[in-house]
Amino acid sequence: MKPDPLKAALLAIPLVLLVLVGAVAPLGLLLWQSVLESEVSPALPRTLRVLGHWQGKGLPDDMAFETLAADLAALRAAGPAGEDAMARADARLAADVPALRGVLPETARVAAETGTTRAVSVLVAQPAWAEAESWAALRRAGEGVSGFHLFAALGLRRTAGGFEEAPEGARARTALLRGVGAAGLATLACLVLAWPLARWIAEAPPGRAALLSAATALPLLAGEGARATGWGALLLPGSAAAFAALVLGLLPLMVLPVALALRHHGPRLPRAAAALGVPPATVLRRVRLPLARRGLAAGAALVFAHALGALAVPAALLPDEPLAAEALADAARAGRWSEAGALAALLLLPALLVAGVLLIRRRGRAA
Amino acid sequence: MRRLAAAALLLALLAPLPALLLAGGTGEGTPLLPRLLAAAVAALAATALGGAAGMGLHARFRGRGAAFALVALPLLLPPVLPGAALLLAGERTETGGLPGTVLWHVLLGAPLVAGLVMAALGRIDPALFRAAQACGATPDLAARRILRPRLLPALAAGAALSFALSVGEGTVAAMLEAGAPVTAAPILSVLVVLGMLLLALLARPKSGTA
C-alpha cells in the first residue's frame, strides 16, 4: 500500500470540515457573545448615540435627557416586547451599578405621568439621573464590545482606577473555583484508582480482557443521566456522594486508555526488570508508569474535561450548590447568552490548557 | 490483593446500573423510536466519516497533526460547552434541537471509529502488501483481500459503539431538546448498551486473531 498524501488528506477532510462547522463555529459564536454588549443598545439606541458625544465630565446635556425619555416612551408603547427589552437593559445596568436596579422602568412610568418637558420629567422621576456615574454606566453598557461579562463571571467589575469586587462576585468565583477544583481532584483520584483495574484488563487473556473492558465501558456508555439517576437512588445527596459518583462515572475514561497503553507495550519489559532483581516499587516507577505515559495523559485530559462539564450528577447529588457547568447551563437555557458565553470561555480555557499541556508534550517527546 | 481491589472497583462502577433498574422507570422523557432513529443516523454518519478520516489519518500528509487535533477535539470538550453552543446556534439558525443533537453525536462517534480504524490499519504487517505485489496481485485485489477483512470488524465495532454512545449520551441532548429531562429513558440506554456490547463481544474472537 503506497500512501498517497493527497488522497489521505481528501479522506480526512469531510470530518475535519464537519468539526469546524459543528463544533468550532458554534463555540466561536458562543464565545463571541461574552464580549458583545447586546442588552442596552436594542432598548435605548438613540440615547446611546447622543451619549457618544458626551465628554464624561459633569452631566450630559439636555439632548441626552430628551432622548432617554423618548426611548423609554417608545419602549412603553411597544408593549410586552418593549417591557422585555427594558428588563434586560435594567438587569445589565444593575449588574454593573446595583443602585440602578429598577431605575429604567421606574423612570419610564413616572416620566409618562409628568406634564413637564421630557428632560425635566426624567430628573423628577429618578434622582439617579442627576449623577454622572449613572450616565457613565449607561454609556459603558452601550459600547459594542467589552470585557464586562468576562470580568463579571470572575466576580469583578471595572472602575475608573482598576477592578473591584462585583455585587455577586464571591458567589460567582466560588462556583467557578469549585467546578475547576472538583475536576482537578477527580482527575487525581482517577489517576490513582484506575491503575489496578487497568492492569487487570491489560494482563488478562484476550477474551476476558474484552469482557472486562466492556464491563468497564458500560456505565460510561449508559450516559451521565443514567448514572445520576442510579447514584441518586443509592446515595444521599452531599458533597462526598457527588464527588464519588463523579469519579466513579468518569473512571472508565482513565482505565481504558491506560489499559490500552499497557497492553500495547506487553508484559516483557516489566518482567525483564523484575527478573534482573529490580524491586517492585522501582519497576512501577521506572518501567510501568513510563510505559503507560500516553494512556495516563490521554485519560487525564478526558477525565478533566468531562468532570468540568458534568451536569446531571452534580445536579442530582448536589442540588443546593451549583457548580460552574450548571451555572452555564442555566444561563444558556434562560437565554442570558452574555453570561453563558463568559462562563463558557472560563471553562474552555482550563480544558484546552490541560489537553494541550498533556497531549502536545507527549507528542513532542515521542517525536 | 490488587486483583481484589480492581474487582471491587469494577463492582462500584457498575453499581448505579442495577440501582437504576430497581428505582423503576423514569423514562417519561422523549419517546423511544425517534431517539433510536436519531442514534442510528448518527452512528451511520459517524462510521462513514470516521472510517474515511481514520484511513486518511493513517497516512502522512501536511497538516496531519492539525487534522488529528480537530478530529479529537469533540471528545476533549466539557459536554456542557457544545450543549450551550449548539443551543445558541440552533436558536440563531432556527433549526431546533434535534439536528444539533445528532450532529454532536456524529462528532463524538467519529473519532472513536477513526481510532479503531487507525489501530486496525496499524496492526497490518506491510510485508503482506509486498508479498501480494510479488505474487502479481493487482493493488485492487490486494486491498480487497488484505484491507477489507481487517477494516470491516473495526467499522462494525465503531458503528456499534457510536450507536450505544448516542443512545446513552444525555448531557448535550438534554440541553438541546427542551422538555427532555437529563435522565430521559435511561433504562433503555442501558439495555441497548448491553446488547451492543454482547454483539461486539460475539463478533470479536473471529477478528481478534491478528
Count how many domains chain B has: 1
Q: Is residue B126 part of a domain?
A: yes
Q: Model ipTM?
A: 0.86
Q: Is 90 exceeded by the pLDDT of residue B46? A: yes
Alpha-carbon distance of A262 to A366, in angstroms, equals 16
The whole-number average pLDDT for the span A298-303 is 95
Distances (CA, A) of B116 to A227, A260, A344, B130: 26, 12, 31, 24
Grid cell in block for residue B106: 456524529
* pLDDT greater at residue A300 or residue B96: A300
To the nearest whole angstrom, how far is the Cα of B2 from the nearest Cα of chain A? 6
Mind listing the pLDDT tens digit for each residue in A30-79? 999 998 888 888 888 888 888 888 887 788 888 888 888 888 888 888 88
> A182-191, A278-287, B85-94, B170-179: which has the highest mean pLDDT?
A182-191
* pLDDT greater at residue B155 or residue A63: B155
Residue pair B154/B119 in contact (Cβ under 8 Å)? The answer is yes
Grid cell in block for residue A243: 464527588
Alpha-carbon distance of A331 to A33, in angstroms, equals 12
Sequence-distant (≥ 6) Cβ neighbours of residue B74 within 8 angstroms: A19, A23, B82, B104, B107, B108, B110, B111
Grid cell in block for residue A132: 454622572
Q: What is the pLDDT of residue B25?
A: 52
* pLDDT greater at residue A331 or residue B176: A331
**Nearest Cβ partner for B80 among A16, A218, A309:** A309
Chain A (250-279) residues lying within 8 Å, Cβ to Cβ, of chain B: 251-252
Contact A229 B9 (CB under 8 A): no
* pLDDT greater at residue B48 or residue A95: B48
CATH number at residue B199: 1.10.3720.10
Distances (CA, A) of B122 to A252, A328, B118: 24, 41, 6
User: Average pLDDT over chain B, rounded to whole?
Assistant: 82
Alpha-carbon distance of A11 to B36, in angstroms, equals 28
Q: What angle do CA A209, A215, A219 make, to 5 degrees?
A: 145
Contact A218 B186 (CB under 8 A): no
Query: What is the DSSP track for A128-197?
Result: GGGSHHHHHHHHHHTSSB-SHHHHHHTTEEE-SSSEEE-TTHHHHHHHHHHHHHHHHHHHHHHHHHHHHH
Q: Is 50 exceeded by the pLDDT of residue B54? A: yes
Q: Is residue B160 part of a domain?
A: yes
- The fold for domain A171-366 equals MetI-like fold (1.10.3720)
Grid cell in block for residue A26: 458554534
Mind listing the pLDDT tens digit for each residue in B136-154? 888 888 888 888 888 998 9
Task: Answer whether A9 touches B (CB < 8 Å).
Answer: yes
What residue has cell string 496531519? B64
Q: Is residue B75 part of a domain?
A: yes
* pLDDT greater at residue A183 or residue A360: A183
Q: In which band, very low, low, confident or very high, does the pLDDT at B208 lie, cut at 50, 70 and 90?
A: very low
Alpha-carbon distance of A305 to A351, in angstroms, equals 5
* pLDDT greater at residue A300 or residue B31: A300
Which of chain B's residues have a Cβ under 8 Å away from the Cβ of A200?
Answer: 2-3, 6-7
To the nearest whole angstrom, how far is the Cα of B32 from the nearest Cα of chain A? 15
CB count in 10 Å sphere of residue B10: 21
To the nearest whole angstrom, how far is the Cα of A169 from the nearest Cα of chain B? 22
Q: Is residue B22 part of a domain?
A: no
Q: Is 80 exceeded by the pLDDT of residue A1? A: no
Percent of chain A scoring above 90 in pLDDT: 30
Q: What is the pLDDT of residue B110?
A: 96
Alpha-carbon distance of A150 to A280, in angstroms, equals 50
Mind listing the pLDDT tens digit for each residue in A176-198? 898 899 999 999 999 999 999 99
What 3-state class would DSSP assign to B195? helix
Alpha-carbon distance of B197 to B185, in angstroms, equals 19
To the nearest whole angstrom, how far is the Cα of A72 from the nearest Cα of chain B? 27
What residue has cell string 429598577? A102
Alpha-carbon distance of B75 to A299, in angstroms, equals 11
Q: What is the pLDDT of residue A295?
A: 93
Q: Is residue B11 part of a domain?
A: no
Which of chain B's residues have a Cβ under 8 Å away from the Cβ of A16?
Answer: 53, 67, 70-71
Alpha-carbon distance of A225 to A41, in angstroms, equals 40
Alpha-carbon distance of A155 to A174, in angstroms, equals 9
Contact A230 B15 (CB under 8 A): yes
Q: Which domain holds residue B197?
A: 29-207
Q: Is residue B12 part of a domain?
A: no
Residue pair A223/B163 in contact (Cβ under 8 Å)? The answer is no
Q: Is residue B131 part of a domain?
A: yes
What residue has cell string 459564536? A29
Q: Is residue B177 part of a domain?
A: yes
Sequence-distant (≥ 6) Cβ neighbours of residue B161 within 8 angstroms: A221, B109, B112, B113, B116, B196, B200
Element (H, E) at A31: helix A25-35
Q: Is the pTM of this model over 0.90?
A: no
What 3-state class would DSSP assign to A309? coil
